[in-house]
Amino acid sequence: MKKITSLLTGVAFAGIAFANAAYATTLEEVQSRGELRCGVDGGVAGFSAPNDAGKMVGIDASVCDAVAAAVFGDASKVTYIPLTAAERFTALTAGEIDMVSRNTTHTLTRDATLGVNFTYYNFIDGQGFMVAKDAGLSSVKDLDGASICVQTGTTTELNMADYFRNGGMDFTPVGYSTSVQTREGLEGGACDALTSDASQLAAIRSETADPNAWTMLPEIISKEPLGPVVRQGDDQWMDIVAWTLYALINAEELGITSANVDAMKADSPNPSVGRIVGSEGETGANLGLSQDWAYNAIKQVGNYGEIYERTVEPLGIPRAGSVNDLWTRGGILYAPPVR
Amino acid sequence: MADSTLKLKKLPDREPPENTIGWIAWIRDNLFSSATNTLTTLIFVYLFYLYIPPFIEWAIINANISGTDRSVCDTNKSGACWTFIKIRLEQLLFGLYFASNPEQTWRPIVAFSVFGMLIIPLVIDKTPHKKWLLIALLTLYPLLFICVVYGGVFGIPVSDTGQWGGLLLTFALSFVGIIVALPLGILLALGRRSEMPIVKMMSVTYIEFWRGTPLITILFMASVMLPLFFPSGVDFDKVVRAMIGITLFQSAYTAEAVRGGLQAIDKGQNEAAMALGMGYWRRTILIVLPQALKISIPSIVNTFIALFKDTSLVSIIGLLDLLKMAQNSSRSLDWNGYDIEGYLFAGFVFWIFCYGMSSYSQKLERKLDTDRRAE
pLDDT of residue A61: 93
Q: Which amino acid is at B65?
A: I
How many CB atoms lie under 10 A from the CB of residue A313?
16
Name the residue of chain A whose CA is nearest to B242's CA. Answer: A15
Judging contacts by C-beta atoms under 8 Å, the chain B residues touching residue A51 are 332-334
Does A209 contact chain B (CB < 8 Å)? yes
* Residue ranges for chain A with pLDDT beneath 70: 1-23
pLDDT of residue B370: 66
Q: Which amino acid is at A240?
A: I
- Fold of the CATH domain B71-95+164-368: MetI-like fold (1.10.3720)
* Residue ranges for chain B with pLDDT beneath 70: 1-4, 228, 230-236, 370-375
Residue pairs between chains A and B whose CB atoms are closer than 8 Å: 148
Residues A82, B328: C-beta atoms closer than 8 Å: yes
What is the tens place of the pLDDT at every residue in A216-262? Answer: 888 888 888 999 999 998 999 999 999 999 999 999 999 999 999 99
Residues B333, A314: C-beta atoms closer than 8 Å: yes
Name the residue of chain A whose CA is nearest to B84's CA. Answer: A52
ipTM over 0.85: no
How many CB atoms lie under 10 A from the CB of residue A181?
17
First to last CA, chain A: 46
Query: What residue ranges do the domains of chain A occupy?
Result: 22-124+226-254+305-327, 127-221
Distance from CA of B84 to the nearest CA of A (A): 9
Using the Cα atoms of residue A15, residue A21, residue A27 and residue A32 in order, give the sign of their dihedral.
negative
Select A127-221's CATH number: 3.30.200.20, 3.50.50.60, 3.20.20.210, 3.40.190.10: 3.40.190.10
Candidates A15, A87, A315; nearest CB to B236: A15
Bridge partners, A225 (sequence order): A124
First to last CA, chain B: 53
Candidates A8, A46, A53; nearest CB to B100: A53
CA dist., res. A245 & res. A308, Å (int): 13
Judging contacts by C-beta atoms under 8 Å, the chain A residues touching residue B316 are 84, 86
Q: How many residues does chain A have?
A: 339
pLDDT of residue A320: 85
Query: What residue ranges do the domains of chain B occupy?
Result: 71-95+164-368
Picking from A9, A16, A200, A206 by the largest number of B CB atoms within 10 A of its own CB, the best residue to mutate is: A16
pLDDT of residue B355: 92
Burial (CB count within 10 angstroms: exposed 0-12, middle 13-18, buried 19+), residue B122: middle
Interface of A with B in 158-187 (CB under 8 A): 180
pLDDT of residue A307: 94
Q: Which amino acid is at B318?
A: G
Judging contacts by C-beta atoms under 8 Å, the chain B residues touching residue A52 are 68-69, 87-88, 334
Of the candidates B100, B116, B110, B187, which has an alpha carbon nearest to the alpha carbon of residue B149?
B110
Residues A57, B77: C-beta atoms closer than 8 Å: no
Report yes or no: B210 and B248 within 8 Å, Cβ to Cβ: yes
Does A18 contact chain B (CB < 8 Å)? yes
Burial (CB count within 10 angstroms: exposed 0-12, middle 13-18, buried 19+), residue B186: buried
Residue B324 phi/psi, 5-degree rounding, is -65, -35
Does A151 contact chain B (CB < 8 Å)? no
Residues A54, B91: C-beta atoms closer than 8 Å: yes
CA dist., res. B374 & res. A135, Å (int): 65
Residue A17 DSSP label: E
Name the residue of chain A whose CA is nearest to B176's CA. Answer: A11
pLDDT of residue B224: 74
Mode of pairing for the β-strands spanning A36-40 and A78-82: parallel
Residues B329, A50: C-beta atoms closer than 8 Å: yes
Query: Could you check whether A22-124+226-254+305-327 and A127-221 share the same CATH topology?
Result: yes
Residues B232, A22: C-beta atoms closer than 8 Å: yes
Judging contacts by C-beta atoms under 8 Å, the chain B residues touching residue A21 are 233
pLDDT of residue A14: 39
Picking from A9, A51, A102 by the largest number of B CB atoms within 10 A of its own CB, the best residue to mutate is: A51
Alpha-carbon dihedral B331, B335, B339, B340, rounded to 10 degrees: 180
CA dist., res. B247 & res. B237, Å (int): 15
CATH code of domain A22-124+226-254+305-327: 3.40.190.10
Candidates B150, B153, B236; nearest CB to A16: B236
